[in-house]
Structure 1
Amino acid sequence: MSDVSQLGSPREGFFSYLFFLGLVFDMPKNLSKQARKQQSRIAALNTLGTPASSRAGSELEDELDTLSEASFATADSTGEIDETRLEDTLRRQIDDLGEKRTATRETALGTLNQMLAHHYCGPFLGSNQSNLSALLQLLIRSVRKPGSTQETILALKGIGLAFLSQEAGAGGEQDDYYGLVLPLLKNLVLTAVECDVKYQAIETLAMVTFLAASHADTMGGLDFFYKILISQGDNLRSEDEDTKLSNKEMHTLMDASTRAYGLLYASAFGDGRGTYEDAWDEWQAVMPAHLDLLEHSSKDVRVAAGENIALMFECTDTLKKQQVVEEDEQEDEDQIPDYEEMDELIDALQRLATDSSKKVNKQDRKEQRGAFRDIIRTVESNERPKETLRFGRFRLVFRGWANILELRAFRHWLGQGLVRHFHDNDTVYSVFARTVNESSDSEGEADTEDGPTAFEEEGSENVMVSKNDVAARREKAKRIRKVKGH
């Protein structure tokens, strides 16, 4: 009799047996294919392992809220959060992704997403290069063959959070992961029936492209979202009357697509990245679509379009000045072409900044006016807005549309975990490495646009985020895991 232990878990043994029968007795293709898929799924689960802790899952999950509330200052003074507990809980939730009950998978995905957002799990996912790939396979399976719409949405969000949790320097592996999810996400944006699924697919596609795509793929992402904007979302609509999206749903999707375009433009051309010629050509191509969106019936879409316009002005202005300096020629920078329909654009922006139409509710009018006042200042005078993020006694100041739009995207994805990722996650930290560090609110004081990211403690000296301390703690954690046999 063969040694049953070699088959591993009962699930693994059963499907291995089916696969063996398929080879020997020429099993029907559909059953053989199912066996192979199940083997692949179980292999992914086995790669990520089983929780080492013997504590009940509910006990571990109860600790999540406590761990999530650890502030930057507290964590800095007390040392690392218990990574063993985090790893055990991660493994437990990932193991539950292989369960048959939809409710169990949904619960696991919800807890997994909370952990990935509130804590930096890069050391676990990066400890073995197969870990992230295995997790993505399980999440993709929940997207392709979900038991419910909620499972699809949670799995899509999990994909974005998994990319956010990658350790910096993944290199070619990042390209492989991006290629793995790209076709799936694009297909869902265009063909999914439910608005919420389309919306989450748009959000996830924008974030994974921002994090993992090459410049060429980022430009491809810009083109994908441009086609949605120029068609006013027509390519998102279904021809089936039973699944037709409402106007409110279309407004939500257009807002998400416009913001996605802005995030990728910031990625490609923000903070002096790219070339002036490429930024200018892209701007000229997409400006007509954005001008149309300024007349959109949704306030959120109008504001998103206006902020994209301000972003494009900011990026091209920065690249224009950079090009003049690099060429070191006697030519005046005004010889570089400017936007020809500037007067018409200013008129459109001014109308939105002073809109008093009773068709728009009071709160929306107030938000729109405030947004477009900042937009006009950038378009007319190249003034860059600033946004301050406060963490208890600390604050972090962001200057310029590129940094602000990127900040909003990360805040949307990470929520309360943003500060923890700023401190521990090199991928997130590197995005804002050029953020302005202000030591005073006085005009013109400490306006060092190329300064490092810094947490400032009010009423005391600046407290810098020490990447050396973070690296030291990370190395210590790796040594501990190695000794424990993880």
Structure 2
Amino acid sequence: MNRRELLAGKTVSKKAKSRTSTPNASRQGTPYHSDDEGETSDTTQWSSNSIDDLIADSRDDTPPDEWTVYLDKHISELLDRKRSSVQGREDSLHSFNVGLTRHFGKEEIKSKMNELIPSMLKSVKSGQTERETVLALKALALMLITDPSESFYDTVAGPVKSIVTDAQHPTSKIAGIHVLSIATFYGGATVEETESVMDFFLEIASSDGSAIDEADNAEIVVTALQEWGFLATQLEDLEESTEVAMETFVDQLDSGDAGVLIAAGDNIALMYEKSFTEAESDDEVEEDETENQLHANGNSNSGNGDMMVKRYTVYRQKHRLEQQLAELAKASSKRLSKKHRKSLHMTFTDILHTVEKPTRGPRYSTALDEDGNEMGSRLKISVQSGGKMTIDKWWKLHRLNALKRLLQGGFLEHYENNQVVFDTLPVEVENE
């Protein structure tokens, strides 16, 4: 698949140098990362700004003790399609989504799922407006994470994939990619089906969107990369898919879009992290660290933590990759905003640390504490109870980002009350 530039004037990848590119200004991605203190904000968007314009606003002004009444009302409206107008369906879908985002509504929707899913799919397949389609797609994802079903993937994968490939509006395709990922992760997909969806996302990213007739659309590429990474956290062994995937991710490091760069870099870090697993009883493990065995906590000074063993080579030109990551960690392009440059520097410093030593997670600090040990991962997430959770692995960050994209401001509500969400990110909260 031929590649095209994401931005006019970007450094063209090797594959693209032999052909003429079509310059096309891409929409800027908005990646989620922490601030100076390693704290995350609660402003993560479900996807692109253009989609958020369609589904906004997610604030819930319903009195706390009345939201179930209103949710039931909107469910009734959605199921009574014969009496509904396009505007009425959009309003009901919006309110339904707000209710399921801000509250854990499993008991409220459980008995209606067999009616709601066909209704949502009808809006997905034959929605009268782009907004109706996008809202219905998000409703499917919210229903699934609220009340998972092993048959959900089989029911929705076909129609949703058709939206990704054939929809008229790119915002519908972006929403479809997100929902296809959620349906694959939570909807009972087999390992083979999961790998097939990941291959589909990789094809989208490697073609710069051309695979779904969205050439040079940075948002499409970012979304495909993000959701590939999310699904990859579910697979134990990525060795067979590593070479092709890494070729795509490294090639995208030539992009001129900050969102594409970060999404590709995050996946590279995940690939290196997953190439090491805990030492097993039949592994010949030495007492000290070597290139092929590292302490699990990334800290060679402490001597604590299980020993992790390298299972396969992620990328043969590791030295060249490290040079490229180091350059991105210091990038000073004026085409990027100050905010994006800062995010780029912080992210690629983290990624470089992981490539150099794969047991180091995001926001890993090599500074020494008073006991002479490296301070380690400092990415902390504040929760409503006043405690904090530490995101010390890339797989955790990928899952956190996926949950935040979907649940936005309702993430903490679901994390504390929705077992499915907690099981996705089983991180214990530490009291300050």
Letter in 2 for 1:418: F
Between the aligned partners of 2:404 and 2:268, the Cα distance in structure 1 is 22
Q: Once the 2 structures are TM-superposed, how far is the Cα of residue 330 of structure 1 from its aligned partner?
A: 6.3
Counterpart among 167, 186, 200 of residue 192 in structure 1? 167
Alignment of 1:215-226 (within 5 A): 215-226=191-202
Q: Secondary structure at the match of 1:193?
A: coil
CA–CA distance in 1 between the matches of 2:311 and 2:98?
A: 48
- For the residue of structure 2 that corresponds to 1:65, the secondary structure is coil
SS in 2 for 1:399: coil
Distance change in 2, residues 1:330/1:297 (3 Å): closer
Could you give the per-residue CA deviations for residues 254-300 of structure 1, whole angstroms, max 9, x where no partner exists? 111111111111122xxxxx23xxx1221122111111100012111
Equivalent residue letter for 1:286: A
2:280 to 325, 329, 338: 325
Which of 181, 189, 193 is 2:156 aligned to? 181
Letter in 1 for 2:244: A
Residues 457, 237 of structure 1: alpha-carbon distance in 2 compared, 3 angstrom cutoff? same
- Computing the radius of gyration from Cα coordinates, the structure with the larger value is 1
Paired with 2:333 and 2:383, the residues of 1 have a C-alpha distance of 38
1:429 aligned onto 2:384 = no
What is the deviation of 1:376?
Answer: 0.7
Structure 1: distance between partners of 2:108 and 2:234 = 27
Q: 1:101 aligns with which of 62, 81, 85?
A: 85
The question of 1:310 aligning with 2:269 is answered yes
What is the match of residue 138 of structure 2? Answer: 157
Task: Tell me, in whole angstroms, the C-alpha distance in 2 between the residues paired with 1:151 and 1:84.
Answer: 23
- 1:296 aligns with one of 226, 233, 255: 255
Q: Is the aligned partner of 1:390 residue 2:357?
A: no
**How far apart are 1:165 and its partner, in Å?**
1.0
Helix, strand or coil at the partner of 1:419: helix
Name the counterpart of 1:287.
246
Q: CA deviation at 1:337?
A: 3.9
Q: Distance in 1 between matches of 2:77 and 2:234?
A: 33
Tell me which residue corresponds to 2:104.
120
> Helix, strand or coil: the match of 2:319?
helix
- The answer on 1:418 being equivalent to 2:402 is no
Q: Which moved more, 1:385-394 or 1:412-421?
A: 385-394
Q: AA paired with 1:232?
A: D
Greater RCO structure (CA 8 Å; 6+ sep): 2
> How far apart in 2 are the matches of 1:370 and 1:315?
21
Distance 1:151 1:255, change over 3 A: same
Question: Partners of 2:269 and 2:98 in 1: how far apart?
Answer: 34
Q: Shift of residue 416 of structure 1?
A: 2.0
Report deviation, 1:230. Answer: 2.1
Asked if 2 retains the 8 angstrom alpha-carbon contact of 1:199 and 1:253, the reply is yes
Alignment of 1:127-138 (within 5 A): 128=111, 131-138=112-119
Partner of 2:228: 261
Residue 90 of structure 1 and its aligned partner are, at CA, apart by: 4.6
- In the alignment, the residues of structure 2 paired with residue 83 and residue 237 of structure 1 have an alpha-carbon distance, to the nearest angstrom, of 41
CA offsets, 1:34-92, max 9 Å, x none? Answer: xxxxxxxxxxxxxxxxxxxxxxxxxxxxx952456xxxxxxxxxxxx568536533533
Give the TM-score normalised by the residue count of structure 1: 0.64
Deviations 1:14-47 (A, max 9, x none): xxxxxxxxxxxxxxxxxxxxxxxxxxxxxxxxxx
Q: Which letter maps to 1:103?
A: Q
CA contact 1:165–1:425 (8 Å) conserved in 2: yes
Change (3 A) 1:220 1:422: same
SS in 1 for 2:208: coil
How many residues align? The count is 335
Distance verdict in 2 for CA 1:155–1:336, change over 3 Å: closer
Letter in 2 for 1:384: G
Q: Give the secondary-structure state (helix, strand or coil) at the position aligned to 1:346.
A: helix
- Residue 266 and residue 123 in structure 1: after superposition, are their counterparts in 2 closer, same or farther (change >3 A)? same
Classify 1:428/1:86 alpha carbon distance in 2 versus 1 (closer, same or farther; 3 Å). Answer: farther
| 5+ long unaligned stretches in structure 1 | 1-62, 69-80, 168-173, 239-244, 269-273, 436-452, 459-486
State the one-letter code of the partner of 2:339. Answer: Q
For residues 416 and 185 of structure 1, the distance between their equivalents in structure 2, rounded to whole angstroms, comes to 25
Is the 8 Å Cα contact of residues 67 and 99 (structure 2) preserved in structure 1? no
Q: CA deviation at 1:343?
A: 0.4
Once the 2 structures are TM-superposed, how far is the Cα of residue 118 of structure 1 from its aligned partner?
Answer: 1.0
Q: Which amino acid aligns with 2:267?
A: N
Partner of 1:91: 75
Partner secondary structure for residue 175 of structure 1: coil
The whole-number CA distance in structure 2 between the counterparts of 1:423 and 1:361 is: 35
Instruction: Quote the RMSD (CA, aligned, Å).
Output: 2.4
Matches of 1:262 and 1:344 in 2, distance apart?
23
Letter in 1 for 2:320: E
CA distance in 2: counterparts of 1:93 and 1:114, whole angstroms? 15
Encode CA deviations 1:435-484: one digit per residue, 9 max, x unaligned. 2xxxxxxxxxxxxxxxxx22x443xxxxxxxxxxxxxxxxxxxxxxxxxx
CA distance in 2 between partners of 1:432 and 1:378 (Å): 21
Q: CA deviation at 1:96?
A: 5.0
Match runs of 1:439-450 below 5 Å: none
Q: CA deviation at 1:421?
A: 1.1
Amino acid at match of 1:261: W
Specify which structure has the higher proportion of helix: 1
